[in-house]
Amino acid sequence: MPQLSRRTAIKLATASSLFLFDRQEQERPPKYVTENAEIKFHSTINYPRRWQQIYQNTLNHFSKKWGRVGPTHVFLIENDDWEETKNAPEKVASLKASQKILRSKFCELHGQDSNGDHLDWSTGNHWSSWSLAPPNVVITMTMSPYRDGEQFVIGPMHEYVHAIQIAFGNAKEAIAGNRMGHALWTGPAWFREGSAVLVAALHAYQNPKLFDQLKGPYTWRQFSAEMNRNLGLYQKAATPIHQGVTHNDWQRLEPQELVYPTIYCGGSIACAWLLKQSGSLTKFMDFFSLVPTLGWQTAFENHFQIKLSAFYKALEQEVNVAQVQNGSGKPKEDWFRFLKTIDS
């Protein structure tokens, strides 16, 4: 519906329709926002403070740089099989009770009238989910910090990249055009996961301060090793990223154990290629602001200045000849060397 200016509206309005107009103003459905969004934390009772703070600091730092999108809700869930919890059986009942409250909250945020008993919150997962009505991104973290503390820095950034994709992919223009759908607005699966993997790792490498309270920073050695490992797994899978686009593709690749090497690893190589063309992480991230008005593919082709089909071709040509640097034997040329010095 076209928006009338307030003055025109008043001129046209009778007393009763003016009332209606005001009510419509107030009742306009909530939507995703791509700046100054609320990021809200929900955690189980007595969640380890130190780890909650590390997680929260990371997201504050990351969203300050790349924008506060949402509404985003973060669920930090402790389970009774965590190392430090197992020895305190008196905690189990209160932990279960607080999980119960959070399960209902989780469903409410997804617009579901349910107590959430069906949700699998077993230890070891970290994922994001979303709903359109009401619009909410929800990040759920059930991993134990006592097993892998790094996941409390790199993990939240990965999940928050999904929040950025969701918020821009479901902005009001996308909804008004009635052209939603994962591949069209939030992009192909390889892009969604690949950009999350790459951006989280690069931001971690470029911001060693994020690891101040951990054993040590995420070094160039680790970053380069991870990207080279991704390259090796992608080459070995021999399944190009254009086979990992839709939900159906994902379902098809899963039983062949190709989701990880193609969509995550291959996606991260593809995004590294795009980042190289962009020249800086900021320029790469600027892509997202084009998505609401153009849709994913046109935004991609305008921003990265290449047709999607040509990009798929160029990437495969490079990947076919790229050599994995595995740290042993004669040093080879590191395909990812540019990442060491690329601007943030």
- List of residues contacting Zn ion (CB under 5 A): 193, 196
In SS3 terms, 125-157 reads as CEEEEEECCCCEEEEEECCCCCCCHHHHCHHHH
Establish how many alpha carbons lie within 13 A of residue 119's alpha carbon, considering only the half-sphere containing its beta carbon: 24
- Nearest distance from residue 197's CB to Zn ion, in Å? 7
The residue among 198 and 231 lying less far from Zn ion, judged by its C-beta, is 198
Sign of CA dihedral 320, 324, 330, 332: positive
The residue among 78 and 159 lying less far from Zn ion, judged by its C-beta, is 159
- Nearest distance from residue 92's CB to Zn ion, in Å? 31
The residue among 85 and 160 lying less far from Zn ion, judged by its C-beta, is 160
CA distances (Å), 49 to each of 29, 78, 208, 329, in order?
36, 12, 21, 45
- Nearest distance from residue 271's CB to Zn ion, in Å? 12
The residue among 263 and 322 lying less far from Zn ion, judged by its C-beta, is 263
The number of angstroms, rounded, from the C-alpha of 83 to the middle of its chain's C-alpha atoms is 28
- Nearest distance from residue 34's CB to Zn ion, in Å? 19
- Nearest distance from residue 43's CB to Zn ion, in Å? 21
The residue among 193 and 249 lying less far from Zn ion, judged by its C-beta, is 193
Cα–Cα distance, 43 to 141 (Å, whole number): 10
User: Which residue is closest to Zn ion by CB?
Assistant: 196
Q: Could you tell me which residues are beta bridge partners of residue 129?
A: 138
The residue among 71 and 194 lying less far from Zn ion, judged by its C-beta, is 194
Q: 143 and 125 in contact (C-beta within 8 Å)?
A: yes
The residue among 154 and 237 lying less far from Zn ion, judged by its C-beta, is 154
Task: State both tokens at 32.
Answer: 């995703």
- Nearest distance from residue 10's CB to Zn ion, in Å? 49
- DSSP calls for 285-329: HHGGGGHHHH-HHHHHHHHHTS-HHHHHHHHHHHHHH-----SSS
Cα–Cα distance, 211 to 204 (Å, whole number): 8
- Nearest distance from residue 309's CB to Zn ion, in Å? 25
Residue type, 241: I
Task: State both tokens at 100.
Answer: 């119960």
- Nearest distance from residue 246's CB to Zn ion, in Å? 16
The residue among 52 and 129 lying less far from Zn ion, judged by its C-beta, is 129
The residue among 286, 307, 289 whose CA lies nearest residue 298 is 307
